[in-house]
């Protein structure tokens, strides 16, 4: 399959993450974790709107709220964010663990917001071990804990029939699956889908799913996206995003036909931020076209 990769924004995130295609407004939402910023990239103009910067030290994920504004997982809190004013209000603080922060998150098919935490880190991908947990903010704004003892809580995806959930805890170097009950959001029967090899593949980060049930996993440190056939548990395609943006962090399908893959990335090291020695395309927002597959509409928070 012939495809092409292009840069859709010259903005460089320190740690870009959590792309979410807002099909109602035809725009891409994503966050810059380190700058605690919510970004909105407009498809029609190809431009970024002014960032919404939160007062919390970090932001892990953001999703649209069906009744307006956003829901964010920032630092160790769930927030409601007014898009017009940028004002954020705390919904709840599910953890007081000062050794962790929210990392990645996404809404499930019922519109609940799943968001996981990870241990704090001095060096990227080297967190304080086993500090992470997976929380779910339900539509009634109650919170439950789904997983514990995680290292780096990352990619989430659900099958079209809403019977299975895929998940990545990055330092296990695996994608796992769970049986998923849409009625109450319960998960069970954890199974390994595929293993990754650090030296060859990189570290698995964020992921998304296409309409055929294949996963597309962003690999941190290699600048590639790996397509996974979930029925066979095999790596079937590799997409090189950039030779210089090696820290690809996550991806999602978007565009008017959901056939464009948007990919976030991070700077290649703290020295780029502190000394201004930026390397190539690191931190940019990318788009891959011509993959011959489609995704499905992302789900907004329904609470």
Quote the CA–CA distance of 104 and 114 in Å, as a whole number: 8
pLDDT tier, 274 (very low <50, low <70, confident <90, very high otherwise): low
Q: How many CB atoms lie within 10 A of CB 212?
A: 11
Active-site residue 96, yes or no? no
pLDDT at 295 over 50: yes
Q: What pLDDT score was predicted for residue 280?
A: 84
Q: What pLDDT score was predicted for residue 181?
A: 98
What's the average model confidence in pLDDT over 265-271? 74
Active-site position among 22, 205, 210, 281: 205
pLDDT tier, 210 (very low <50, low <70, confident <90, very high otherwise): very high
| pTM of the shown model | 0.96
Q: At CB < 8 A and 24+ separation, what contacts does 178-186 make? A: 180/108, 182/108, 182/109, 182/110, 185/108, 185/110, 185/112, 185/136, 185/138, 185/144, 185/146
pLDDT tier, 125 (very low <50, low <70, confident <90, very high otherwise): confident
What's the average model confidence in pLDDT over 131-154? 98
Q: Output 126 or 273, whichever has higher pLDDT.
A: 126
pLDDT, averaged across the chain: 95
Percent of the chain with pLDDT over 90: 92
Model pLDDT for residues 226-256, shown as the tens digit of each residue: 999 999 999 999 999 999 999 999 999 999 9
Over its C-alpha atoms, the chain yields an Rg (Å, rounded) of 17
pLDDT tier, 271 (very low <50, low <70, confident <90, very high otherwise): very low
């Amino acid at each position: 399959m012939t495809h092409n990769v292009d840069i859709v924004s010259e903005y460089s995130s320190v740690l870009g993450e959590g792309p979410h295609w807002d099909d109602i407004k035809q725009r891409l939402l994503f966050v810059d974790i380190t700058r605690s910023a919510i970004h909105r990239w407009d498809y029609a103009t190809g431009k970024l709107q002014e960032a919404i910067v939160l007062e919390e030290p970090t932001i892990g994920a953001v999703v649209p709220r069906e009744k307006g504004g956003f829901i964010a997982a920032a630092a160790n809190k769930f927030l409601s964010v007014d898009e017009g004013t940028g004002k954020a209000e705390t919904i709840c603080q599910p953890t007081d663990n000062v050794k962790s922060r929210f990392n990645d998150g996404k809404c499930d098919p019922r519109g609940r917001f799943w968001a996981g935490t990870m241990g704090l880190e001095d060096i990227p991908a080297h967190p304080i071990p086993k500090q992470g947990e997976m929380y779910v903010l339900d539509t009634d704004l109650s919170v439950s804990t789904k997983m514990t003892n995680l290292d780096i809580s990352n990619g989430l995806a659900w099958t079209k029939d809403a019977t299975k959930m895929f998940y990545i805890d990055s330092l296990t170097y695996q994608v796992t699956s769970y049986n998923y009950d849409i009625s109450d959001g319960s998960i069970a029967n954890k199974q390994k889908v595929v293993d990754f090899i650090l030296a060859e593949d990189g570290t698995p980060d964020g992921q998304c799913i296409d309409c055929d049930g294949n996963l597309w996993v962003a690999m941190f440190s290699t600048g590639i996206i790996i397509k996974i056939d979930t029925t066979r548990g095999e790596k079937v395609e590799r997409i090189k995003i950039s030779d210089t943006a090696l820290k690809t962090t996550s991806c999602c399908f978007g565009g008017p036909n959901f056939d464009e893959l948007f990919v976030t990335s991070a700077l290649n090291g703290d020295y780029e931020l502190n000394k201004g020695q930026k390397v190539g395309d690191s931190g940019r927002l990318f788009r891959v076209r011509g993959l011959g597959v489609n995704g499905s509409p992302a789900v907004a928070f329904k609470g």
